[in-house]
Amino acid sequence: MGAYPTIVLASGSARRRKLLEQLIGKRFSVIPSSYQEDNSQNVEPPELVTRHALGKALQVAEQDARAYVIGADTVIVHRGMILGKPHTEQDAIGMLKRISGATVECLTGVALVNRHEGVTLLDREITLLSMAAISSDLAEQYVRLGESLDRAGGFAVERHGALLVKKISGCYYNVVGLPLYKLAAMLERAGVRVLG
């Protein structure tokens, strides 16, 4: 294998692209996956996010069997219930009020696939978030900023959503959308050098 194998991020997320660039520079391309997530499946959240991550990676890997394809899926879990991306502003406000003052889990599944090399690696990361008390007024003001609709749980911790999170226990990058330490370990395990 050469020093710079083809690496593909199977995501249209600007946040994940920026995080991967932080990890390996510009040595990758982006092909958003057309895999359809289904959070209504009757499986536990850890299994669900890894299943979705793998589905995304496999769908893109069909286009280039020699590429190392990275798929990821992130959800917020509150009392065992998955909070995905809100569909409307009212939905986002409801999510934020539901998790007010609670401790929630940010759960990301990560998949690394190379069909030619027979590589299929799966892992997941869990980060605990202690949420602030979120009043109806604060929830409405925050949602009006436009950060909610594309984010699991309805908030973006790396932006104004930082005002809603009192404490993060675990990997911060996981909350943004890609657990970098875990992904780096997966790449190295597959023989892909992260540095250099």
150 an active-site residue?
no
Contact 107, 126 (CB under 8 A): yes
Put residue 170 in one of left, alpha, beta given phi > 0 → left and psi -120 to 50 → alpha.
left
Structure tokens at 149: 């609709």
In DSSP notation, 102-169 reads -EEEEEEEEEEEETTTTEEEEEEEEEEEEEPP--HHHHHHHHHTT-STTSGGG--TTTGGGGGEEEEE
Q: Which residues contact 110 (CB under 8 A, 6 or more apart)?
A: 50, 53, 70, 71, 72, 122, 123, 124, 125, 178, 179, 182, 183, 186
- Point out the catalytic residue in the list 64, 73, 91, 150: 73
Give residue 76's identity as a one-letter amino acid code: I
Query: Catalytic residue numbers?
Result: 73
